[in-house]
Amino acid sequence: MSDTPQALPRHLAVIMDGNGRWAKARGLSRSEGHRAGTETAKRLVTRCRELGIAHLTLYTFSKENWKRPQDEVRTLFDLLVRFLGNELASLVEQDIRFNVLGELEDFPFAVRQALSHVLKKTAHCRSMTLNLALNYSGRAEILRACRRLVEQGVKPADITEERFSAELFTAGQPDPDLVVRTSGELRISNYLLWQSAYAEYYFTDVYWPDFDADELDKALAAYAGRQRRFGLTGEQALQAGD
């Protein structure tokens, strides 16, 4: 495709923000905003698969989001269950493996069941991994990894970055290269704190439901134009990239 940027992120992580404000601006309910946001997420998954982005992570429900009104939380779970039911065949067809970043135990039974079903049915898929960050908190994930290492009796000297990463929900996946946040908010909101240590960030004012293929292209073009130095000088990084 001629308009495809040269350097694609292997792992794109998105903070899908602004559903509520999108709805308010249109005189709609917050639920309508979340519904529209779900459609945007579906289209993004397919577009990323077409482009060849191997890992896509969507911030879908944070641990902090439990504090929202109960009605809204219920709407979000309903949308999630419906998404899983409607999209399973399409995920399998597109060879997309579904994965969850977060503890499933805290979810209502119906949600857990729907998640487990899609996890199982897409476990063999290899072309792309779709991670939904659900009941997710970066800090909680880091503490969980610490506890798991202690439980396994790992000696302090054996705790390396690789060993630690293997205890995170993203074990086995590359770190995000690009983190996109919509809706004009300039914060991380407890998202992939360990994994995004060297990610590139892209912020846009566009509300999540309006984040279409053109907006994705803009984000990818911005990413392709960045020089990732990883501590090197600009000249060194240029040579390393040759």
Sheet with 96-101, strands from edge to edge, namely: 96-101, 128-136, 55-62, 11-15, 178-181, 200-203
81 vs 92, beta carbon nearer ligand IPE? 81
CB 47 within 8 A of CB 58: no
CB 200 within 8 A of CB 224: no
Q: Examine residue 17 and tell whether it contacts ligand IPE (CB under 6 A).
A: yes
How far apart (Å, rounded) are the C-alpha atoms in residues 102 and 109?
A: 15
Smallest Cα–Cα separation from 93: which of 136, 142, 128?
128
Q: Examine residue 181 and tell whether it contacts Mg ion (CB under 5 A).
A: no
Contact characters 166-185, ligand IPE, x per CB under 6 A: -----------------x-x
Contact characters 44-63, ligand IPE, x per CB under 6 A: ---------------xxxx-
Contact characters 128-147, ligand IPE, x per CB under 6 A: --------------------
The reply to whether 131 belongs to the active site is no
The reply to whether 86 belongs to the active site is no
User: Quick one: which of 12, 13, 15, 114 contacts ligand IPE (CB under 6 A)?
Assistant: 15
Q: Which helix (H) or strand (E) holds 16?
A: none
Q: Which does residue 15 touch among ligand IPE, Mg ion, none (CB within 5 to 8 A, set by kind)?
A: ligand IPE
Strand partners, 98: 130
Neighbours of 109 (CB within 10 A): 7
- Which residues lie near ligand IPE (CB under 6 A)? 15-21, 59-62, 64-65, 76, 183, 185, 187, 189, 208
Residues with catalytic function: 17, 65
